[in-house]
A and B are shown apart, each in its own frame.
Chain A
C-alpha cells in the first residue's frame, strides 16, 4: 500500500539545514493500522505530509498504492491526494461557514462526481460517523469530538485507500478522544488502512502496529498484539 525507501526530507533556510527525515524506511500493508510516535520535532508530521503528498522529499523512493510518486506533476499528485488519501488533522480544519454537508462535499467536487453521487456519499459518510441528522449544522454548533468526526467523514467520503491522521485526538478531552479512536478502530476493522501520529502511548498500544520516529528515522518496529478487538472502551456515539 505504502512503501518508502531511504526517504530524506531536508528543510533549507539561508543559514540552517534541518534533516526532518533521513533514510526513512517504512512499508505499510493494506488494512494495517499504524501508530507513529516519537518526541516532538522528530519528524512525524513531516513523514505524514510526505506520505500524504502535501510535501515533497529530496531523496529516496516512495510508492503509494502501486504508483511511484517521484516526478509526478501537480495535477497527478492532486488527483492521487483526492482519490487515494484521506486526511485527518489535529485542528479538524473544517470551513467554519460551511455546513457539514458542504464541508464533506469539498473533496467530492474536485473528484467531478455529479450531485446525486455526492449526496449519496456525503449521507453515507455522515452515517458512518453518526452525524447523519446534522448535515445542515455549522461546525461551530458541534463539540470538538463531533467536529473531528465530521473531518473523518470528509476523509471517508472519497473512499480513500489510506487515512492519514496527525494527532487526531490532540485537541480533545479523553472521553471525546475515545469516541474518535473507537471510530478509527471500527473503520480499520471494516478494511481501512490508517496511519496515525499520536503522543498518547495508550492509544498507540491499542493499535496493531507501532513505529517510532526519532531524529527523522524509524528506530523501532515493534509490533504489538492488536488489542482493539477486546477493548474495554465504551463508546457512545
Chain B
C-alpha cells in the first residue's frame, strides 16, 4: 500500500512535470476513444431490442400481395385494406393489430389559443396497445371501430393540456372534434419497431392513436410508404381497392401458434390466387421483431462502415500515444536506471508504469466522456435522424472509462516493457 502511494506520488509528479506532453498524449487517446464511444452509442441504441421480453413473440406479417407478376420484387410489408381486415379476423394470434401512419394538425377545442400542433397519428386497432405494451396513464382504448375517440401520448398531452388526466377532453383535429378516452404515460420504444420502414425507425412514439376506420373516414393522409395499382380518389376510397399502405403485426406465443398463423396467411394467399390475384409465388412471411428490424436495416450500413473507420482511428491514436510514450520513456531511462541501481526490481518499475498508465487512463476517461458527448452532439447536428439514438447511459459511461483505461494501458505496455529491458550498465555514468 505504501508502495502504491509512492507510485501514485511519482506518477503525479511525472504528469505535472511533463504536463504538455501528457496533455497531448491524453488528448490523442481521448479523441480516439471518444469517437469510438460516440459511434458505439449510436450503434448500440440502433441495434437495441425495443421490446426484449416479447420481441420473439411479435411478428410482422408480410403478404405476397402485389397483384402483378413481378417475380423479383422484394418482400412487401404493406398490404391493402381488405388484406388487413382478413388478418384482423384471425382467431389464432393472442393480439393482432394493423396500422398506418398519418399526420394532422390539432388543438384543444376549448382553448382560446388558435395555435395548432402538428401531430403524428397512428391509425390502428385496439390490440395495438396490449401488443406493444403501450402504458396507459388514464382511461383506455376506444370501444367501437368507427368511434370519434382517440388515445393521446404524453408529449401531446403536455403540449396541449399541460399534462394531467385529459380523459373526456376534446381535441380538434383538422377541424373536427374527437373525444379523448385514454392518455399514455411517457413511452419510449427504440427503435419504433412497428414503424421501422423508410427512415422512421427512430421516430418518437406517436401523439395520437385513432381507430383506423375513423382515420380513413376522416381522410387522414397516409404518411408512410404507400403504393397502388389503380386509381384511388381519396383515403377512404382505399377500402376494397388495390391501395397498399397498412402494416400488420401479430403476437404469437409459440411455434404451434406461429405455424397456424402461417397456414392462415398462406390459405388466404391461395384463395386470392384462385381469384386471379397474387401472381407471385407464395412468400408470406412472419418475421419477429429482431428479424424484422434486421430486414429493415435498422443499423445503417454507413454506420457500420463508420464504426470500422473509428476503430481504425482508435488504433492509430493508440500507436500514436505509444510512440509518444516510447520517446518519453527513452528520455526517462536515466531515472529508471537509477531506480534499478538502488534496488528497484523490474517488477517495481513495471508496477510504477502500470500505476502511471492507470492515472493517465483516468484523465483520459474524463476527457473521453467529454469528447464522446461532443462527437455525439456533432453527429446529431449533422444527421438529425440520429436524434433518437443519442443515448449515453451508465453502461456506456462505464464502457468509456474501461476503454480509456485499457487503451492507455495498451499504449503504455510496449514502451514500458522496453524501458524495463534497458540494460542497466549503459544508462548510468
Q: Which residues of A contact B (CB under 8 A)?
A: 45-46, 49, 52, 54-55, 74-75, 78-79, 81-83, 87, 89-91, 93, 95, 97, 106-107, 109-112, 114-115, 154, 158, 166
Contacts and interface: CB of A to CB of B under 8 A. Distances in A.
Contacts of A74: 345-347
Nearest to A49: B425
A97 B343 contact: no
A81 B343 contact: yes
Given A95-B335, A110-B348, A115-B2, 6 more contacts: A49-B425, A74-B347, A79-B343, A82-B344, A107-B343, A110-B339
Interface residues of B, number: 23
Interface in B328-360: 334-335, 338-348
B429 A90 contact: yes
B11 to A, nearest CB: 14
A114 B424 contact: no
A89 B428 contact: yes
Contact of B342 (A75, A110, A115): A110
A83 B424 contact: no
Given A54-B424, A55-B424, A78 B343 contact: yes
Interface string B1-15: 011001000000100
Classify the interface of chain B: helix, strand, loop or mixed: helix
A105 to B, nearest CB: 9
B17 interface: yes
Contacts of B342: 81-82, 87, 106-107, 110, 154, 158
A128 to B, nearest CB: 17
B423 interface: yes
Interface in B1-50: 2-3, 6, 13, 17
A111 B3 CA distance: 10
Interface in B268-312: none
B343 A111 contact: yes
A65 to B, nearest CB: 15
Contacts of B345: 74-75, 78-79, 110
Contacts of A115: 2
Contact of B428 (A93, A110, A154): A93
A80 to B, nearest CB: 8
Contacts of A54: 340-341, 424-425, 428
Contacts of B346: 74, 78
Contacts of B335: 95
21 contacts: A49-B424, A54-B424, A54-B425, A55-B424, A74-B346, A74-B347, A75-B345, A78-B346, A79-B343, A81-B340, A87-B341, A89-B428, A89-B429, A93-B334, A93-B338, A93-B428, A95-B335, A106-B338, A110-B343, A111-B343, A114-B2
A190 B386 CA distance: 79
B343 A75 contact: no
A93 B338 CA distance: 7
A82 B343 contact: yes
A152 B58 CA distance: 80
Contacts of B425: 45-46, 49, 54-55
Contacts of A52: 341
A52 B343 CA distance: 11
A106 B344 CA distance: 9
Nearest to A113: B2
A156 to B, nearest CB: 12
Given A93-B334, A95-B338, A114-B2, A78 B429 contact: no
A125 to B, nearest CB: 13
A191 to B, nearest CB: 21
Contact of A55 (B2, B17, B347, B423): B423
B115 to A, nearest CB: 67
A158 B341 CA distance: 13
Contacts of B424: 49, 54-55
Contacts of A75: 345, 347
In this complex, the member of A75, A106, A111 whose beta carbon has the largest number of chain B beta carbons within 10 angstroms is A106
A82 B348 CA distance: 13
A125 B423 CA distance: 29
Nearest to B348: A110
Nearest to B345: A78
Nearest to B346: A74
Contacts of B334: 93
Contacts of B339: 106, 110
A74 to B, nearest CB: 5
Nearest to B342: A107
Contacts of B341: 52, 54, 81, 87, 93
Nearest to A50: B425
Task: Give the 3 A-B CB pairs with smallest separation, nearest first.
Answer: A82-B343, A107-B342, A55-B425
B185 to A, nearest CB: 60
A81 B342 CA distance: 6
Interface in B118-138: none
A78 B340 contact: yes
Given A54-B425, A55-B423, A55-B424, A97 B17 contact: yes
Nearest to B335: A95
A54 B336 CA distance: 13
Contacts of B428: 54, 87, 89, 91, 93
B313 to A, nearest CB: 36
Contacts of B3: 109, 112
Contacts of A83: 343
Contacts of B338: 93, 95, 106
A214 to B, nearest CB: 20
A24 B335 CA distance: 30
Contacts of A106: 338-339, 342
B33 to A, nearest CB: 31
Contacts of A89: 428-429
Contacts of A90: 429
B348 to A, nearest CB: 6
